[in-house]
């Protein structure tokens, strides 16, 4: 993965994720995430009964954004991504709970399940490298 993208995602804490409802209407939710830059994965924790968790079991395709925890309106930075929620039996999900709880140890006290998103594509806007600078990453190009 591009080092600038990985560094940015490791430094942030919150993502907005969009999933499609059964009738094709988009539904967004925000979550704290942990990022595995070696495997290109997001991990987050939520209740199995949360509306978005139910939707993700029906349709695992997602898209989302990550903005800086501290916004600088003069230097626009952020990530747009799309990916796939992985089944719990997928080998890539093996360390998801450990990774998430290592970053957010207080989450051990909260009931819920850890969900893993395989990131397939990323577009990062990075105003620190010039106005409108875009950096792209595609899992298929680096597989």
pLDDT of the residue at 116: 98
pLDDT of the residue at 143: 57
pLDDT of the residue at 92: 93
Domain region containing 95? 3-141
pLDDT of the residue at 132: 77
* Residues paired with 66 in a beta bridge: 15, 79
Neighbouring residues of 21: CB distance < 8 A, sequence distance ≥ 6: 27, 55
Please state, in angstroms and rounded to a whole number, the distance separating the CA atoms of residues 109 and 95. 18
Backbone torsions φ then ψ of 34, nearest 5 degrees: -115, 145
pLDDT along the chain (143 residues), means of 10: 95 98 95 96 97 96 96 86 95 95 97 97 89 91 69
CATH number at residue 80: 2.30.110.10
Count of structural domains, the chain? 1
Q: Rounded to two decimals, what is the model's pTM?
A: 0.92
């Amino acid at each position: 993965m591009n080092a600038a993208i990985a560094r940015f995602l490791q430094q942030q804490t919150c993502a907005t994720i969009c999933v499609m409802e059964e009738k094709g209407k988009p539904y967004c939710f925000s979550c704290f995430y942990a990022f595995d830059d070696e495997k290109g994965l997001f991990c987050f924790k939520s209740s199995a009964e949360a509306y978005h968790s139910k939707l993700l079991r029906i349709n695992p395709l997602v898209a989302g954004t990550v903005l800086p925890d501290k916004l600088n309106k003069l230097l626009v930075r952020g990530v747009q991504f799309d990916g796939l929620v992985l089944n719990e039996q997928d080998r890539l999900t093996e360390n998801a709970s450990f990774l998430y709880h290592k970053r957010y140890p207080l989450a051990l006290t909260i009931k819920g399940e850890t969900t893993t998103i395989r990131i397939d594509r990323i577009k990062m806007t990075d105003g620190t490298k010039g106005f409108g600078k875009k950096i792209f990453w595609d899992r298929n190009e680096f597989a």
